[in-house]
Amino acid sequence: MKRPATLIIFGLAVFAGAMLFGVAFEVSNLEDRLTGLNKEITRDRDAIHVLRAEWSYLNQPERLDGLSQRHLELRPLEGRQFSDIAALPMRPNRVPTPTTDPVSAETAPAIAALVNAEPGGLPSAETPIATALTAKPKLKPAAPRRPARNVRLASQRISPEATTSTAASDKAALDAALRAIFGNTASNREGASR
């Protein structure tokens, strides 16, 4: 009766000892790994720090100035390169009946200029920009101000569509106009591929 109990206890003790060693080794391994990781983090942080300094150094405005002058054809922005939506000329009514049209081709530029002058004055809802654009050829002789280059491009591209298919949906025209206004790069690319 006594012997099996002793054996079991002895067995348990050996098992506990083995477990203890196992855990101890695992802890020691994990600690080594933690130290290693900490070291690595410190090293990476230092490296990031150095790289940040280097990034800032390489981005010296003076250096970039020189590089852009040598390799790029970019120049500082000028005031006349800016335009806003309000600067686009307004469209006469959809069905032009000159006698009743409140916004005739002659008065449109003046109104556009007024709208432009008031900050935040956007074209009214009845005359969306896109449709105003499709009517652009009519307004051609009296542009209210020097139009931005991309706007002129847009009108040239859109006008044939507008004349050939009068039923062209407003949405397509709006898309085109928005692309012309905001997607400056996109229109350039198209131009290049042509």
Partner 1 sequence: MTERISFRSAQKKALDIARTRLLVGGALLAAAFLVIGVRLVDVTLFSENGPSRQANARNIAVEKKMDRADIVDRNGILLATGLKTASLYGDPSIIIDPKVAARALVGVLPELSEADVLQKLSSKGEFVWLKRHITPRQKYEVNRLGIPGFEFDEEERRVYPLGRLAVHAIGFTGDDNKGLAGIENSFNTALSERSERVTLSIDVRVQQILRRELAAQIKKFKALGGSGVILDVHTGEVLSLVSLPDFDPHTIKQASRSEKLKEEFKNQQFNRTTLGVYELGSVFKIFNHAIALETGVANMASNYDARKPIRSHGFTISDFHAENRWLTVPEIFMHSSNIGSAKMALDIGVAAQRKFLTDLGLMRRSSIELSEQQQAIFPAPWTELSAMTIAYGHGIAVTPLHAAAAVAAVINGGILYPTTLIRRDELPANGKRVISAQTSADMRKLLRLVVENGTGRNAEAPGYLVGGKTGTAEKPTAGGYKRKALISSFIGAFPMNAPRYVVMAQLDEPKGIKESYGYATGGWTAAPVVSQVISQAAPLLGIAPVDETAPNARRASAIKVATPRARGQGIATN
Residues that bind partner 1 (CB under 8 A): 34, 38, 41-42, 45-46, 49-50, 52-57, 59-62, 65, 76-80, 82, 84, 113-114, 116-119, 145
CB of 47 to partner 1, least distance (A): 11
Q: Which of 131, 71, 139, 135 is nearest to 110 (CA)?
A: 139
Between residues 4 and 76, which has the closer beta carbon with respect to partner 1?
A: 76
* Three-state secondary structure call for residue 93: coil
Within 10 angstroms of residue 103's Cβ, the number of other Cβ atoms is 20
CB of 99 to partner 1, least distance (A): 29
Between residues 45 and 140, which has the closer beta carbon with respect to partner 1?
A: 45
What is the distance between the alpha carbons of residues 88 and 136, in angstroms, rounded to a whole number? 9
Whether residue 86 contacts residue 144, with contact meaning beta carbons closer than 8 Å, is answered with: no
DSSP category for residue 90: P
CB of 48 to partner 1, least distance (A): 11
Between residues 18 and 50, which has the closer beta carbon with respect to partner 1?
A: 50
CB of 167 to partner 1, least distance (A): 36
Q: Which of 100, 175, 177, 99 is nearest to 135 (CA)?
A: 177
CB of 112 to partner 1, least distance (A): 11
Within 10 angstroms of residue 153's Cβ, the number of other Cβ atoms is 17
Between residues 86 and 176, which has the closer beta carbon with respect to partner 1?
A: 86
Whether residue 110 contacts residue 144, with contact meaning beta carbons closer than 8 Å, is answered with: yes
Between residues 110 and 172, which has the closer beta carbon with respect to partner 1?
A: 110
Q: Tokens 């916004």 map to which residue?
A: 103
* Three-state secondary structure call for residue 106: coil
Between residues 63 and 140, which has the closer beta carbon with respect to partner 1?
A: 63
CB of 92 to partner 1, least distance (A): 22
